[in-house]
Structure 1
Amino acid sequence: MRVPLIARLAWQDYRRDGRLSACSILALVAVIAPLLVLFGLKFGLIGSLTERLQREPSVREIIPLGGGRFDAAFIAALAQRSDVAFALPRTRQIAATAELLRAAGERRVSVEMLPTAAGDPLLQDIPAPSAAGHVVLSHTAAEKLGVQAGDQVQASFARQRDGELHWQHSALQVQAVLPLSVFERDALFAPLALLEAVEDYRDGFAVPALGWPGAVRQADGKRVYPAFRLYAQTLDDVEPLRQWFAERQLLVSTQAAQIAQVQSLRRNLDLVFWLVAALAVAGALAAVAAGTLAAVERKQRELSVLRLLGFGSAALLLFGVLQALYSALFAASLAALLYQGAEYALNRLFVHTPGEHASRLLPVHYLVALGATLLAAASAAAVGGWRVVRIDPSQGIRDV
């Protein structure tokens, strides 16, 4: 088969019928462009919602409810799971508080103390405090104290023994301040060792490392934690982790319902998109097939001459398929340009948060759309051009 020659002849004939070619291009654009906009909206909206939830650590947080009894080995095993991004023990909430002030005589701020370590999702790009006496403050706490990263604050811890109130004080270095969007309560993030020391002191035990007096804690005493801080690796891991805890009779609180809503919206939009796409593509295939069939009927004289010159049925069928591919290529390119304009307008109108999109397509989506358009056009043209096998070369002799 002389493919290059057939391709040149198909192109010259395609150019000669410029008006009909333009109509076939516009007919395909009318199908492809709306589908690109619809898929761009689905991908952009769902992608933005999913990314927003993924960026929000609290959505992936799993909070134990009720008074539990967890040892360090159990929580360490949780941290090693592939579906867990971060896990760390928590001391008793009533013992995990502190009074902070910047200087004597200034306002005191009561904050909750949260344990932190490397990999804490709340800290994001902020290095976790590891040195003794280094902490990270929430935005509201730092604002009330009037401090910033690099400043020093005084922390006071109280306990009551024999009806008397005792205080211990410790100087803390503010290593960083969390953005308000990350944590909105008054809080202090510190290494677990500091929270354990404060809990021991409030339980009446001595803390030799800080010079705090009290009873001697038994060396073989196994520490038990009432709770933990745990974050799932991804949104899809939240529900399986909840079920894992439920199987062990451990009640936890999650944002599984909120995540399920987004996933349900994604499934529903997928269904709507593929339903509309199927109807539109079916119409486009029928149009291409009918157009090719009409072209074969209209060009019987020319095609019979080509058969008379030695071109077989396969070459004549390729003639029509190539013309359909020309239309598909131009239509896909024009539809992509139209979508770019629509995407820009939609994002300008409906999105006001950096990094989010109302409509969005990736380069791979354009390539898939182009491939699907070419394949559909070629298939429809092949079906519509089946009548070329019935063209008789004698018709070319009669018309010469």
Structure 2
Amino acid sequence: MRPLLIAGLAWQDYRREARLSACSVLALVAVIAPLLVLFGLKHGLVGSLTERLQRDPAVREIIPLGGTRLQADFIEALGQREDVAFAIPRTRQIAATSELQVAPGEARLNVEMLPTALGDPLLQGLPMPQTLQQVVLSHSAAEKLGITPGSPLQARFGRQHGSVLQWQQTTLQVLAVLPLAAFERDALFAQAALLEAVEDYRDGLAVAALGWPGATATQAPRVYPGFRLYARALDDVEPLRQYLAAQQVQVVTQAAQIAQVQALSRNLDLLFWLITTLALGGAVAATSAGALAAVERKQRELAVLRLLGFGSGALLLFLIIQALYSGLFASVLSALLYRLAEGGINHLFVQAPGDYASRLLPEHYLVALAAVLLASALAAALGGRRVARIDASQGIRDV
């Protein structure tokens, strides 16, 4: 009961000195609200940049340089790593091309062919090719051909046999069309088996699955000149590059762009904590001075409380609770002011949907509230230590 009684007395006294209480609240708001805006900008800007990079598979893509010769088991082992989101072998780029045509007599379009499989970051949410004849077209290729999902498509593949140019044709089914943001070049995505079949045909070999004639293929393991590889997260790109370099596989990554965003985050963190330390130091000093002034101003009232049996700890708790009242009201008011500022900042500076110039999550508000209450309590405890010197006899003299 004693803490509740002290809290009630502290509230009544806090209300009685409403003007002074309002001043202490506004003094804290002047510190807390700008810090919330600063942290909101830091979290919003860097968070949006990081989320944008994370959403863009091209940033997490790791592209091998020319001259690489890899076995299928090496690429399969890559795909099993925890830091790899997707890995699939690629055939030679010069062989991974096709001429597409909607119907005889229509215009032809040369496109590159890319292997795909379950888990492809570029095809998230789209149907996956299940047979050799099923493909997914890029937006630019579908737009140039004037084709929609579900339509048939004629694909031609040529090879030079001696002095004779030979062609084979097959009908493809377009399962889906990629969004333009996912892939901007003219391309089709198909099973790796189709790309391997086209490569074999252009190497002069027969492709039994498609009925294409040619020489009989040897049983030697297939060697791949590259792969499509995507890291699971932004932080996995550089470790993967280092691992592949140790395996004598030279690659190109977006590590420099990722490092710039991470450096910006670290620098903003340092700036935020520097400003926060200075601001909170001033707030603690102001709250301590306020508690010290309250002890001087309320010596008679505090002496009467001691006379009624309240010890030094109870009197100190009285001051701490009043500081907590100020911290609580200041936190709520600062959060409301920040919400207004957040709406204005995002309205002025954000153009792309899903991005934020300023943003705080619910847990950020809770952390800020806990930090303000803790700082207020410590400051009041430091400034109110003189309450232990108040003697009950002063209360008797003033009765």
The reply on whether 1:242 has 2:241 as its aligned counterpart is yes
2:378 is aligned with what amino acid?
S
Partner of 1:231: 230
Partner of 1:112: 112
1:101 is aligned with what amino acid?
Q
Give matches, 1:106-185, under 5 Å. 106-185=106-185
Partner of 1:317: 316
The reply on whether 1:374 has 2:367 as its aligned counterpart is no
- SS of aligned partner of 2:147: coil
Deviation, structure 1 residue 305? 0.6
- Matches of 2:40 and 2:114, distance apart in 1: 41
Q: Does the 8 Å CA contact 1:118/1:127 hold for their aligned counterparts?
A: no
Partner of 1:273: 272
- Matches of 2:234 and 2:196, distance apart in 1: 31
Deviations 1:332-360 (A, max 9, x none): 00000000000000110000111110000
Deviations 1:184-243 (A, max 9, x none): 11001000000000000000000011000000012x221110000000000000000111
Deviations 1:237-290 (A, max 9, x none): 000011111122221000000000000000000000000000000000000000
The reply on whether 1:195 has 2:201 as its aligned counterpart is no
- Matches of 1:393 and 1:48, distance apart in 2: 60
2:56 is aligned with what amino acid?
E
Partner of 1:256: 255
- Matches of 1:361 and 1:269, distance apart in 2: 15
Partner of 2:7: 7
Partner of 1:383: 382
Partner of 2:86: 86
- Matches of 1:56 and 1:162, distance apart in 2: 45
Q: What 5-or-longer segments of structure 1 have no aligned partner?
A: none
The reply on whether 1:296 has 2:295 as its aligned counterpart is yes
- Matches of 1:4 and 1:106, distance apart in 2: 86
1:128 is aligned with what amino acid?
M
Deviations 1:95-118 (A, max 9, x none): 000000000001000000000001
- Matches of 1:213 and 1:248, distance apart in 2: 38
Percent sequence identity is: 71
Give matches, 1:358-369, under 5 Å. 358-369=357-368
- Matches of 1:3 and 1:144, distance apart in 2: 77
- Matches of 1:6 and 1:51, distance apart in 2: 49
- Matches of 1:52 and 1:80, distance apart in 2: 26
Q: Which portions of structure 1, spanning 4 or more consecutive aligned residues, are displaced by more than 6 angstroms?
A: none
- Matches of 1:251 and 1:162, distance apart in 2: 35
- Matches of 1:217 and 1:160, distance apart in 2: 17
- Matches of 1:216 and 1:62, distance apart in 2: 35
- Matches of 1:398 and 1:150, distance apart in 2: 97
Partner of 1:285: 284
TM-score, normalised by the number of residues in structure 2: 0.99
- Matches of 2:21 and 2:103, distance apart in 1: 81
Q: Does the 8 Å CA contact 1:136/1:189 hold for their aligned counterparts?
A: yes
TM-score, normalised by the number of residues in structure 1: 0.99
Deviation, structure 1 residue 139? 0.6
Deviation, structure 1 residue 130? 1.6
Q: Does the 8 Å CA contact 1:135/1:176 hold for their aligned counterparts?
A: yes
- SS of aligned partner of 1:153: strand
